[in-house]
Amino acid sequence: MKAIVIGAGQVGFEVAKMLANEDHDVTVIDVDHDALESVSEKLDVMTIHGTGTSARVLKDAGMKDAGVMVSVTTVDEVNIIACMLADRMGVETTIARIRSDELSDVDSVLRAADLGIKHVINPEDSAAKEIGRLLRRASATDILPMADGRLILVGIRLGREAPLIGRSMVDIQAENPEIKFRVAAISRGIRTFLPRGDDVFHKDDQVFVLTRPKSLPRVTEIMGKHDKRIEDVMILGGSDIGVRLARDLSQHKNMNIKLVESDLERAEFVAEQLPNVLVINSHAFDIDVLITEGLSDMDAFVAVTDNEESNLVTCLLAKHLQVQKTVALLSQSAYIPISQSIGLDAAVNKKLSISREIMGYLRGKHVLNVASVHGMDAEILEIEAQPRAPITRKPIKDLGLPKGILIGAVRKGKDLEIATGETRIESGSRSYIFVLRSSINEAERLFSSP
């Protein structure tokens, strides 16, 4: 498939990289020569200097032959116009990165579809929602609802006292037969692998478990964690993410939110927008103010300023003061494994989230959904088994699946089960599978008709 990516920034780079890795014919357009040169040096893609608002530039890029156009520049208007032009040129799938709420507001005069946009991605909204989910489960480093909320994937880092350490998955599951759960992946250092039954848990492993929501408290207990309700939250940074998060959290009963913003004018604006939030005007590195305002009494501390070093340092300070949950917004995806290894509880990267969300719309037609979590270097596919697909021929234990593929759960109509070795996948059923990126093409082949 021919794909056009407009915007060669970090988001555009990630999207182009994922598309190119799956053998798509990718062209990247940008007005920044240096950004294009960086893309050319690192990726096997074509680059064109120009703007996405120019019909001539889009024609030169081969837009009329493209199956998808993704516009992820930092300017909403450019992304909107690019989608309008692509839609007029017959592109089937158009995706735009848009920060404004104008197109999603219920009272909006225009809808995204009116502008030729098939899907809108709002990075700030996505990040705020992800942080909100993390705060609802204090012991989790990552959390992802699946199967319309009937399943939940939770990431938990094993402390030195975790009862799992030194034991295998087979042992743990044998001791807890009443609980349906599946250890889907383990991140150890900078490596992610999909475990087998005889793999042993180590200290500091980040373990990703698939289970039903009602079983989650028991699963976290098995992992050596105990959730405490989060009520007092301090948010550092009055950015759009900080404001969205504060607004969402302040709507919950018994939650007390403090937001710290360094710019006086911005702080006054935020205070007007959020009457139920205490807004404090202070510099991020003014530790005395943070402590005076009760940092050590917080249940959670979230740093979402534009300065990732500030986010890291202040979260480390919060952990030093025994704050139960810390979440940092990081712009560099490479910082995420480092952040958790030095003691932070969770990290969110909005650019990586956007690029992976976009890929959910660009898989084969039998792939119904794609998801990912930051701490796990693998993708989660909701995929439908086609008639006579290789995956339908035997029970899972007899299929000889490669190490890069793990079946987490299977859904047939209203029935949903956590997969075991005896599970048999039928044609038309949906499976939730965990796949290392090197095995994605093999996974799609297994679920496709011969």
CATH 3.40.50.720 fits 232-350, yes or no: yes
Tell me the per-residue pLDDT of 6-24, one tens digit each, with 9 for 90 and over. Answer: 999 888 898 888 788 777 8
The mean pLDDT value for 92-120 works out to 78
CA 12, CA 31: separation in Å to the nearest integer? 13
Report which of 404, 402, 433 is spatially closest to residue 419, judged by C-alpha positions. 433
Cross-sheet strand order for the sheet of 191-193: 142-146, 151-157, 206-211, 181-188, 191-193
262-268 contacts, C-beta under 8 A, 24 or more apart: 262/305, 263/238, 266/238, 267/238
Report which of 132, 126, 183, 112 is spatially closest to residue 154, judged by C-alpha positions. 183
User: 128 or 246: which carries more pLDDT confidence?
Assistant: 246
List CB contacts of 13: < 8 A, sequence separation 6 or more. 38, 39, 42, 43
CB 160 within 8 A of CB 203: yes
Is the model's pLDDT at 374 over the cut of 60? no
Report which of 19, 7, 96 is spatially closest to residue 48, judged by C-alpha positions. 7
CA 406, CA 199: separation in Å to the nearest integer? 14
Pairing type for strands 415-418 and 119-121 reads unpaired
CA 69, CA 117: separation in Å to the nearest integer? 10
User: 193 or 38: which carries more pLDDT confidence?
Assistant: 38
CATH class, range 139-222 = alpha beta
Report which of 302, 352, 301 is spatially closest to residue 322, judged by C-alpha positions. 301
Write down the pLDDT at residue 62: 93
Per the listing, tokens 């703007």 go with 51
Write down the pLDDT at residue 60: 93
Lowest-pLDDT choice from 32-36, 262-266, 401-405, 434-438:
434-438
CA 85, CA 425: separation in Å to the nearest integer? 43
User: 110 or 175: which carries more pLDDT confidence?
Assistant: 175
Write down the pLDDT at residue 431: 92
CATH 3.30.70.1450 domain residues, the chain: 139-222, 378-446
| Residue 387 pLDDT level (bands cut at 50, 70, 90) | very high
HEC per residue, the chain: CEEEEECCCHHHHHHHHHHHHCCCEEEEEECCHHHHHHHHHHCCCEEEECCCCCHHHHHHCCHHHCCEEEECCCCHHHHHHHHHHHHHCCCCEEEEECCCCCCCCCCCCCCHHHHCCCEEECHHHHHHHHHHHHHHCCCCCEEEEEHHHCEEEEEEECCCCCCCECCEHHHHHHHCCCCCEEEEEEEECCEEECCCCCCEECCCCEEEEEECHHHHHHHHHHCCCCCCCCCEEEEECCCHHHHHHHHHHHCCCCCEEEEEECCHHHHHHHHHHCCCCEEEECCCCCHHHHHHCCHHHCCEEEECCCCHHHHHHHHHHHHHCCCCEEEEECCCCCHHHHHHHCCCCEEECHHHHHHHHHHCCCCCCCEEEEECCCCCCCEEEEEECCCCCHHHCCEHHHCCCCCCEEEEEEEECCEEEECCCCCECCCCCEEEEEECHHHHHHHHHHCCCC
The mean pLDDT value for 211-224 works out to 86
CATH 3.40.50.720 domain residues, the chain: 2-121, 232-350
The mean pLDDT value for 136-155 works out to 78
Tell me the per-residue pLDDT of 221-252, one tens digit each, with 9 for 90 and over. Answer: 888 887 678 899 999 999 999 999 999 999 88
Averaged pLDDT of the chain: 85
CA 68, CA 359: separation in Å to the nearest integer? 11
The mean pLDDT value for 384-389 works out to 92
CB 200 within 8 A of CB 365: no
* CATH number at 378-446: 3.30.70.1450
The mean pLDDT value for 282-299 works out to 89
First to last CA, the chain: 21
Per the listing, tokens 């202040």 go with 314
Is the model's pLDDT at 103 over the cut of 80? no
Is the model's pLDDT at 219 over the cut of 80? yes
CA 267, CA 332: separation in Å to the nearest integer? 26
The mean pLDDT value for 48-59 works out to 95
Write down the pLDDT at residue 295: 93
CA 2, CA 86: separation in Å to the nearest integer? 13
Cα dist from 304 to 12, 308, 328, whole Å:
22, 8, 6
Report which of 337, 369, 330 is spatially closest to residue 353, judged by C-alpha positions. 330
CB 39 within 8 A of CB 20: no
Is the model's pLDDT at 46 over the cut of 90? yes
Is the model's pLDDT at 301 over the cut of 90? yes
User: 344 or 341: which carries more pLDDT confidence?
Assistant: 344
What tokens were used for 264?
């006086």
| Residue 193 pLDDT level (bands cut at 50, 70, 90) | confident
| Residue 106 pLDDT level (bands cut at 50, 70, 90) | low
What tokens were used for 397?
């234990």
Superfamily (CATH) of domain 2-121: NAD(P)-binding Rossmann-like Domain (3.40.50.720)
What tokens were used for 415?
């029935």
Write down the pLDDT at residue 368: 46
Lowest-pLDDT choice from 43-47, 104-108, 144-148, 181-185:
104-108
